[in-house]
Amino acid sequence: MAKEKPSGGWYRLDNAAVVYSALQRSEYSAVYRFSVVLARDVDPDALRRAVARVMPRFPGFRVRMRRGVFWYYLDGAPDFVPVVRTDIANPCQPVRFSSGDELLRVYYYRARLSVELFHALADGTGALVFLKTLVAQYLRELGHDVPFTCGVLDPDAPPDPAEWEDAYPRYATSRARRSLGEHAAYQYAGTPEPFYTLNVTMGLMSAPRVRAEAKKLGATVTEYLAAALIRALIVVQHREGRRREKPVALVVPVNLRPFFETRTLRNFILTVRPCIDPELGEYTFEEIVSQVHHYMRLHLTRQELGAYMTQNVALQRSKLLRLVPSPLKNAAMALGFRLVGERPYSMTLTNPGILTLPDEMRPHVRRAEMILGRSYTGLTNCAAITCGDELCVSFSGAIRETHLEREFFCFLVRRGIPVKVISNRKEAGECPTV
Amino acid sequence: MSYCVNCGVELDAAAASCPLCGTPVVNPRAPAVPGAPGAFPERRGEVAPVDRRGAGLTVTVMLAAASACCAALNRFVFAPGVPWAAYAVGGAALFWVLAVTPLLWRAHPAWRAALDLTAVMLYIALVARLTGGWDWYFRLALPIALAVAAAVAAPCIVAALHRSILTTTMTALGALAVFLIALEALIDVYLRAAFAPVWSLICAAVALVMIATLLVVRLRPRLREEVRKRFHT
């Protein structure tokens, strides 16, 4: 695709945004949420002032989705300021482009301050920068002094064009191409909930404790959580009594910034697919951790990630495909994703890591939370985020049963990691006793 | 603080039961407070559905204007004695039912299919009326349209009942076979007043062979797995 032209007040979609925009439906929400739980209840007036103050610093978020003839695009909306609303029980509601729905939403409930983003705008890294800047400005509105460090941006500074770069084409230069053509994986499913429901179950635990447990096994926190989730999926699948068990595979988004230099706040991620095939035999938890760890070390290389990027961007660079009208392209992408795109994955696990805050903000922020919207078939997704000494792991989906969540959290408890569970469920689904 | 005796996890102070297994919280020292605010809000939010009525009304006005123009031209300018505008107005009405009513009216697919079928039949009836062809309409067009509707409806109903792809395909093939026999019968009776099936039987035989093959695959799990493996995408 041609070079970015931010001066024109509109943005081409980046590679990931093209996919998320094409997939967006009522039954698929490419919306995710970051929250911080503050030490005191949120003051909505101060929050409104803070939102209005920081939005000019983020021109890439002051946009609306528009349908072009050949591609969707993000049209500049210089006056857009998201409405600050009281929170809802079913977060991450899908976006409907035609109704001019907001791609960025701000909510508050008691001490929780939440930001929801449509994934076409930014990945987790960009969203966290926005959240940190917003919370810092909110605290300033309340009279606290917060410096512009640890990724907190100065809302009065002019926007930096480098922050709105589409970094994919710059690094999609590999001669080789790679794609994730993998076999079908086990799909965790259950009784679907009524439309507009998103069940959220969060486990709060000590981050140093989990880190120490992971370190004992020579793994990172993400690898440890991925292994625990794969183990839980294997157990749940085994309980279903299948004649032939399918591989259990996670889709784990990877932040590309440590591998490729860029300051962009827009999407710059790829995914990897740690996988365990139960048909090969029983795996101990330690073996699963080892498999996941070595898979990550082996495949997270600059060269391999570049080849994946080249493959993905090739579709956008194809002159023939670029001339196909957008409704056809979007329908084909949505159908392809529905039929084969999700099949290789059991569910998503994302861990944007540690929310680092300036020392002045730490006493005011108790923890951070992250929630993913619902997918087509993998109806439950998992997200983790750490703030201070608290790690929050959330499961979100539209399934009545809680087998997976229970298996995951009970396993951590058995490993000696105390877990506190909170949920928006009205009643728990039926669960077998362990 | 309370813990679930079944799961071993700590629970929220406002929780009356464990969100993982539903076990009630029974802690005399820290009873759950009814009505206490929970960790999440109670109010549900809904994204407003896309309003397509504007587009529907715009197309309606355009079609109505085009129809009125055709009718006026037919009446006062071009060939007033030949009702050619009726075809255009009828076509516009048919297009309106097929394309615009979905924008204005949210209905069950079955109702929509019935409405579409009725609209098509009415348009063909208009053609029959204008050409004096009620004979072919009742003996050929109407039965064929109903047969097409039945042949399409059968696999759709099976698919809506969440049957397997194999079952749905078998139903579609069976419906196709029956439809082709009915089609040849209707044509034969209309043209020669006698039913002498030839090509439809050949097609039906092929369909039956395919149905039998799929049935075997459907009933034999190992074969089904083998086919899935060979044809996996």
Domain span holding position B122: 52-132
Same structural domain, B126 and B173: no
**Lowest model confidence (mean pLDDT) among A65-74, A137-146, A269-278:** A65-74
Among the listed residues A28, A10, A434, the one whose alpha carbon sits nearest the alpha carbon of residue A239: A434
Same structural domain, B66 and B99: yes
Average pLDDT, chain A: 89
Same structural domain, B163 and B114: no
Q: A132 with A149: CB under 8 angstroms?
A: no
DSSP code per residue over A79-140: T--PPEEE--SS-SPPP-GGGT--SEEEEEETTEEEEEEETTT--HHHHHHHHHHHHHHHHH
Report which of residues B160 and A57 the model is more confident about. Answer: A57
- As a whole number of angstroms, the distance between CA A74 and CA A294 comes to 39
- As a whole number of angstroms, the distance between CA A171 and CA A161 comes to 18
Decide if A396 touches B, using CB distance below 8 A. no
- As a whole number of angstroms, the distance between CA A347 and CA A342 comes to 9
Q: What is the mean pLDDT of residues A409-422?
A: 96
Report which of residues A394 and A69 the model is more confident about. Answer: A394
Average pLDDT, chain B: 87
How far are the Cα atoms of A430, B122, B126 from residue B129, in angstroms, in the given order?
63, 10, 5
The pLDDT of residue A110 is above 50: yes
Q: A345 with A273: CB under 8 angstroms?
A: yes
Last residue of a domain, one of B88, B103, B132: B132
Strand-pairing partners, residue A399, are A192
Same structural domain, B93 and B163: no
Neighbouring C-beta atoms of residue B33, cutoff 10 Å: 10
Neighbouring C-beta atoms of residue A157, cutoff 10 Å: 10
The pLDDT tens digits of the residues spanning B168-190 come to 999 999 999 999 999 999 999 99
Among the listed residues B79, B215, B21, the one whose alpha carbon sits nearest the alpha carbon of residue A410: B21
Same structural domain, B65 and B21: no
- As a whole number of angstroms, the distance between CA A232 and CA A252 comes to 16
Question: Token digits for A404?
Answer: 């997976």
Which domains, and CATH codes, for chain A?
6-158 (3.30.559.10), 199-324+340-423 (3.30.559.30)
Same structural domain, B152 and B233: yes
- As a whole number of angstroms, the distance between CA A390 and CA A188 comes to 28
CB contact under 8 A, B44 and A96: no
> Which pLDDT value is given to residue A10?
84
Same structural domain, B19 and B58: no
DSSP H/E element including A269:
strand A269-272
Taking CB atoms and an 8 Å cutoff, what residues of chain A touch B48? 96, 99, 101
CB contact under 8 A, B41 and A86: yes
CB contact under 8 A, B20 and A413: no
The pLDDT of residue A4 is above 60: no
What percent of chain A lies above the pLDDT cut of 90? 62
For tokens 């044509």, the residue is: B187
- The verdict on residue B46 lying in a domain is no
CB contact under 8 A, B7 and A413: yes
Best mean pLDDT range from A240-244, A317-321, B27-31, B209-213 = B209-213
Taking CB atoms and an 8 Å cutoff, what residues of chain B touch A93? 45-47
Strand-pairing partners, residue A65, are A74
The pLDDT tens digits of the residues spanning B123-172 come to 999 999 888 888 889 999 999 999 999 999 999 998 888 778 889 999 99
**Lowest model confidence (mean pLDDT) among A11-25, B35-49, B52-66, B123-137:** B35-49
Q: Specify the amino acid at residue A294.
A: H
Q: A106 with A51: CB under 8 angstroms?
A: yes
**Interface residues of chain B, partner chain A, Cβ below 8 Å:** 4, 6-12, 15, 17-22, 37-52, 221, 225, 232-233
Question: Token digits for A186?
Answer: 């086990």
- The verdict on residue B184 lying in a domain is yes
Decide if A98 touches B, using CB distance below 8 A. yes
Last residue of a domain, one of B96, B117, B132: B132
DSSP H/E element including A397:
strand A390-397
Q: A58 with B11: CB under 8 angstroms?
A: no
Distance from CA of B75 to the nearest CA of A (A): 40
* Total of domains in chain B: 3
DSSP code per residue over A358-425: -TTTGGGEEEEEEEE---SSS-EEEEEEEETTEEEEEEEESBS--HHHHHHHHHHHHTT--EEEEE--
**Lowest model confidence (mean pLDDT) among A305-309, A333-337, B30-34:** B30-34
Same structural domain, B72 and B5: no
The pLDDT tens digits of the residues spanning A382-391 come to 999 999 999 9
Q: Is A356 exposed, middle or buried (0-12, 13-18, 19+ CB in 10 A)?
A: middle
Last residue of a domain, one of B111, B132, B153: B132
- The verdict on residue B47 lying in a domain is no
How is residue A428 annotated by DSSP?
P
Q: What is the mean pLDDT of residues B99-115?
A: 86
CB contact under 8 A, B41 and A340: no
Same structural domain, B123 and B158: no
**What ipTM score was computed for the predicted complex, to two decimals?**
0.85
- As a whole number of angstroms, the distance between CA A127 and CA A130 comes to 5
Q: A347 with A250: CB under 8 angstroms?
A: yes
User: Three-class SS of residue A32?
Assistant: strand
Question: Token digits for B18?
Answer: 């464990």
By Cβ distance, the residue of B40, B50, B51 closest to A424 is B40
Distance from CA of B51 to the nearest CA of A (A): 7
Q: Specify the amino acid at residue A330.
A: N
Taking CB atoms and an 8 Å cutoff, what residues of chain B touch A110? 37
Radius of gyration of chain A (CA): 21
